[in-house]
Amino acid sequence: MAGGAAPTLAANTLAGINVVTVCATTGDSVILPAGQPRGAKILVVNNVATVTVDVYPNTGGTINGGTATTGQRGVATQTGATFTQVGTDGLTWIADNTIAAAS
């Protein structure tokens, strides 16, 4: 969350589906899980009608080649985004094309 520790998404939920239902301010965030096998998919759904949810890689990880601070992605209000594990290190993620870098 903004200004504090962000929760790590549950990697062992059914089909990697994670639904955000509470997000108080823009910049609140969640963290992708580390140690996932190549091909693992994590779906983040933002059910909050008023703010974007930021998604960050785990420590040492990347999303679309960025760093922990430049690679975060924003999931817009009432939409979803898919993150796919593409590395053998369990830390390298690619985000689908429907989302942009968080602001």
Per-residue pLDDT tens over the stretch 59-81: 888 998 887 777 788 888 888 88
Q: Identify the three-state secondary structure at position 93.
A: strand
Q: Which residue has the tokens 């949810």?
A: 53
Query: What is the value of pTM for the model shown?
Result: 0.79
Take residue 72 and report the two structure tokens written for it.
Answer: 């975060």
Residue 14 confidence class, pLDDT cut points 50, 70, 90: very low
**Count of alpha carbons within 13 Å of 14, Cβ hemisphere only?**
1
Identify the sign of the CA torsion 99, 17, 94, 32: positive
CB 30 within 8 A of CB 18: yes
Lowest mean pLDDT among 3-7, 13-17, 52-56: 3-7
